[in-house]
Structure 1
Amino acid sequence: MKADYAEPGDRFEVPLDGFVIDIVRDGSLIEIQTGSFGAMGKKLDHLLPSNQIVVVYPIAVETYLQKPGVTPRKSPKHGSVYDLFAELVSIPTLVDHPNLSLEVVLVAVTKIQVADAKVRRGRGGFRTEDRQLREILGRHRFDEGRDLLELVPDGLPPVFTTADLARRAGIGRGVAQQMAYCLRPLGLFIEQGRTKAGIEYSLAV
């Protein structure tokens, strides 16, 4: 991903204050994060006060499985930009830091798989040896917390639950709950009360 994201003049794997920065570009620090956002907490807390940081988070919306000797096949599993919230729950208010931007990159990837007798039969007897980027399909940039409202679907009632949010966005209830967990402390979802159907919210004006 670093090679595909790179631009002329970039510097890579740059040491700074005891941390290693993926890419330094025109005074900005770029971190390509494929794992847990929680693992970045210490680095962000230390560097954000004096540095502009862009966290790039790739999400595989299309995955192809490449087994030896056969044509790659498309996996039925797919991601979406809403997968961001599964990671954002660990640092929900940091997205509002003036020195932090998030860039979600929607990608198609190929998983290179090899036979492995140690892998249980339920997983087909194959393990993933490598992941290769096939294509960048889209990007979403969030420079402040309020930018996350672009992911709130149209057509919500004035007062809504995460069930309403899930239905309108076409996502699972659990993902909608993660979304609400992130947007409430940012002041974007206002809690209005609780019913048997769940917590009721309204959108910040």
Structure 2
Amino acid sequence: MVKQTFLNLSVEKQNKILTAAKEEFARASLKDASVANIIKKAGIPRGSFYQYFNDLEGIFYYLLEEHSKDVKKRLVDNLVKYKGDVTKSFIDLYQYILKKISKEENEAYFKNIFLNMDYKIEKMFLPNLEDNLNEIIQLIDITKLNIESRLQLIYVLEIIESVMMRNLIQVFQRSVSKEKNIEIFIKEMLLINSGIYKKGDN
């Protein structure tokens, strides 16, 4: 857990510590990472680290939380930009995430995240849409969707998130190129958009 003492630091010092932690988690998984390596790279005493975070898990999940906030902001911005169009918003979001995790300074970090992903990490990697549904639902043009209830909307968003995660995992498995990966995701989103039944059929 992050402590208020860390949040009280200057942005420059926060970024220095977070960059050091990110480099360490790019080198090793959470269970194999070392506080010693982080404080050495950040140039801070060990005691200061524990004034900022309870433990390694604290800074690890704080980094993930910041990533999730960034993704949520992009989704909200997209829904405004595309006037509530879910398909366009999530295609844009996917391309944004793919570009972010593919940057040279981020690739090793996110690769380790995906190679060591568990349920908690997976739930934190993308924003919890159910928790943020009240905000998001106001931006979605539901009149264009075949949705009859709030619960159905949650199901649809969860399906989209699952499709996103599966495709992102394939990026690090190197099974397809990034260009092909985006092409596949767009096709899958369009399939979700159109449904599996022909118009007029049951």
Alignment TM-score > 0.5, same fold? no
Tell me the TM-score normalized by structure 1. Answer: 0.29
The higher relative CO (CA closer than 8 Å, separation ≥ 6) is in: 2
- Return the structure number with greater strand share: 1
